[in-house]
Amino acid sequence: MAVSVLLRQFFYAFLGRVVAVSVLYVALITLFQKIGLGAGAGLGLLVTSMFGFDPNGENQGLALTGFFIAFLGIPIILNLFATILALFFPITEKRHIIIRKRLDARAARAV
């Protein structure tokens, strides 16, 4: 979904210009996704270690609580936050119609 939203915003902003730049936007969103995954894994391991989680031993109580907070609680909260941001993304129905008309006109010219 993020790539789709990003490309629609790109087409709205740069419709009359070179479309090949959209490849750069896709590459950037992929880069940010990979950075986010790496940082998230590192943060999750840091949180679990703060709760005393031992990957080589038996864990109980507080260590398991830290594990579940790190790998379930934090991602759920962040995804809910991202969902709220996506719901209020500035592409309104009117702007979407304009983008769709311009893309359809561009496709008709290309044929």
What pLDDT does residue 12 have? 64
Asked if residue 83 lies in contact with residue 110, where contact means CB atoms within 8 angstroms, the answer is no
Mean pLDDT of 30-47: 88
What pLDDT does residue 29 have? 79
What pLDDT does residue 37 have? 87
For residue 27, the tally of other CB atoms under 10 A from its CB is 10
What pLDDT does residue 17 have? 58
**pLDDT class for 109, splitting at 50, 70, 90?**
confident
Question: End-to-end CA distance of the chain, in Å?
Answer: 28
- Residue 19 pLDDT more than 60? no
In tens, the pLDDT along 68-100 reads: 888 888 888 988 998 888 788 777 788 888 888
